[in-house]
Amino acid sequence: MPPADESAKCAVIGGAGPAGLTAALELLRRSDIKPIVFEFDSQVGGISKTVNYRGNRMDLGGHRFFSKSDWVMRWWQEILPVAQGQTDPAAPLRINYQQRTHELIPSELAPSSSDAVMLVRQRLSRIFYRRRYFDYPLKLSASTLQNMGLVETLRIGLSYSQAQINQRSPEISLEDFFVNRFGERLYRTFFKDYTEKVWGVPCREISAEWGAQRIKGLSVTKAITHAVASRFRSSADTSQKQTETSLIERFLYPKLGPGQMWEEVARKITAHGGEIRLRHRVIGIERRDRQITAVVVKDETSGTMYTVGCGNFISTMPVRDLTAMLKPSDDTVIRIADRLPYRDFMTAGLLLKRMISADPRAAAHGMPPDNWIYIQEPDVKIGRLQVFNNWSPALVANEATIWLGLEYFCREGDDLWSMNDSAFLDFAARELEKIGMIDRRDVLDGTVVRVPKAYPAYFGEYSEFEKVRAYLDGFLNLYPVGRNGMHRYNNQDHSMLAANAAVNSILNSGAGKTDIWDINAEDDYHEEIEAVA
Ligand SMILES: Cc1cc2nc3c(=O)[nH]c(=O)nc-3n(C[C@H](O)[C@H](O)[C@H](O)COP(=O)(O)OP(=O)(O)OC[C@H]3O[C@@H](n4cnc5c(N)ncnc54)[C@H](O)[C@@H]3O)c2cc1C
């Protein structure tokens, strides 16, 4: 019989993703408050989990571990140290991402034979368009010109010049934003289809402001200047070479995928006396005035429902669900929360004998060298292709095979989402065949993973989000944190920092509670889904 109530000296946490687990471990490390984490999935990690399919591991999206926060970088390395041989022990470990560099001296390195380690990976991702590979970020290089052809390049140049002379004003939509910066032709070639695939909304219905905030793109003027200057630059110009080297992105990556980090954290939580109850869904909240007193939970395995009393409630559940459970009396708050937009995501894991490639950088069995590839082809729905072997060879059971993730942006319940798994796998394999990357007869196996609410979106009702936030902030011992928990486009590190800020506030009797919302309010690095700029 499940307990009707737990000690008041406990914090209930809804969700065992990066935010929920960070909060639980920090509470255990820094206080005598016992965390009880409820997670409706059968494994921990949230969107950052690793799915193990017959020994082949899938990362849902490709999770780079990087952060400008030293606290986060150290935290990760305390859980999973960097493997020997991945970095020079005498030199700082240098992580580069989106033109920033972060240096940290690892406190220890682990034997490279161990599985409980982080690798240091170098990013390669390209754009696949017109059945050819283009550099990412897009460069005005000889290969780009060759791939585009002289006539198309001239057209792009002309359309760019026109856009500079005739700027769209006022700049209202994301389409205006792109055209003003890149010209109509480049926008249609490289930005429109992909952005619309990702968000499922025409660029003219997305606000320009959103583009300014989210798309730190290529400046065409800068790119042209750079391309021309590089023609005259001496090959012995080492400072330039160094700059270019420092811009190569390097990030940490758990040997067995991102979920390995969160599985290790979960082990530590239970070893220190915390509890994680998997397949348990938070379905209700009890409150007295501005105080949360208990949480109602359903055990998804037995169907039993029970109530757990709590001193504090940390929620990483979608704002929509949390708000509904609080039953606000204000209809405006209900409406906004209920209509907060999300974008969902599906991945087909395909195991292959070989791929087809004319790319000179491809391996003997045709596997491209990229971590992931943006698919810009307008005649297919696939948005991105992950090559898991290149994230970590340990993700693949048999290293002679190629383990791919075919990523689709969709809406829960739409035609793609509702396809049965075997039809979806067939559809995905046909798409790769159509763009010339594989022969379907080389597919050995496959699986499908659906990720609801993968992207909290910033359109529609989101413009009024402050009203919901103010309502949630009114509860003294309620801490909404994390990606869907705050309806914010968080990376793992932001979710962890928000969770840590919540723990700080709990340990300071609620002081600094609203600081949580300052995390990731200005940041300009996120997983790149907006546009390939
Ligand atoms: C395609 C893609 C690529 C990404 N790439 C990167 C990257 O390169 N680097 C990076 O750092 N981040 C990346 N991210 C972001 C990263 O996945 C998230 O920031 C991180 O997982 C958020 O952690 P969280 O704990 O806030 O939320 P989640 O991971 O969403 O975890 C929330 C948990 O709460 C559970 N839950 C929800 N409702 C309930 C309920 N009622 N009861 C019980 N449990 C509940 C869910 O099942 C889930 O496990 C990427 C995300 C996507 C979609």
Closest-CA residue, ligand 1 atom 33, reads 15
Residues with CB under 6 A from ligand 1: 14-20, 38-41, 46-48, 61, 63-64, 281-282, 316-317, 321, 345, 454, 482-485, 490-493, 495, 527
pLDDT digit string, tens, across residues 347-398: 999 999 999 988 889 998 999 999 999 998 989 999 999 999 999 999 999 9
Query: Residue-wise over 376-389: b if at least 16 C-beta within 10 A, else e?
Result: bbeebbbbbbbbbb
Query: Residue-wise over 330-360: b if at least 16 C-beta within 10 A, else e?
Result: eeebbebbeebbbbbbbbbbbbbebbebebe
pLDDT digit string, tens, across residues 20-65: 999 999 999 999 999 999 999 999 999 999 999 999 999 998 999 9
Instruction: Give the pLDDT of residue 154.
Output: 87
Q: What whole-number percentage of the chain has pLDDT above 90?
A: 65
Neighbouring CB atoms inside 10 A of 285's CB total 22
Instruction: Give the pLDDT of residue 111.
Output: 83
Query: What's the gap in Å between 495 CA and the centre of ligand 1?
Result: 8
Closest-CA residue, ligand 1 atom 35, reads 15
Query: What's the gap in Å between 490 CA and the centre of ligand 1?
Result: 9
Predicted confidence band of residue 247 (pLDDT cuts 50, 70, 90): low
Instruction: Give the pLDDT of residue 253.
Output: 97
Predicted confidence band of residue 245 (pLDDT cuts 50, 70, 90): very low
Query: What's the gap in Å between 482 CA and the centre of ligand 1?
Result: 8
Closest-CA residue, ligand 1 atom 12, reads 491
Kindly tell me the number of DSSP H helices and DSSP E strands found in the chain. 17, 23
Give the sheet arrangement for strand 291-299, strand by strand. Answer: 280-288, 291-299, 305-309
Instruction: Give the pLDDT of residue 215.
Output: 60
Determine the average pLDDT of the residues in 262-268: 98
Q: Answer for the pair 108, 95: CB distance below 8 angstroms, yes or no.
A: no
Residue type, 261: M
pLDDT digit string, tens, across residues 186-200: 888 888 888 888 888
Mean pLDDT of the chain: 88
Determine the average pLDDT of the residues in 484-494: 94
pTM of the model: 0.90
Query: What's the gap in Å between 48 CA and the centre of ligand 1?
Result: 6
pLDDT digit string, tens, across residues 65-113: 999 898 999 999 999 999 988 877 777 777 877 667 777 777 778 888 8
Closest-CA residue, ligand 1 atom 13, reads 491
Closest-CA residue, ligand 1 atom 45, reads 15
Instruction: Give the pLDDT of residue 238.
Output: 39
pLDDT digit string, tens, across residues 412-469: 999 999 999 999 999 999 999 999 999 999 999 999 999 999 999 888 889 899 999 9
10 Å CB burial of residue 108 (0-12, 13-18, 19+) is exposed
Query: What's the gap in Å between 52 CA and the centre of ligand 1?
Result: 17
Atom of ligand 1 nearest to the CA of 64: 8
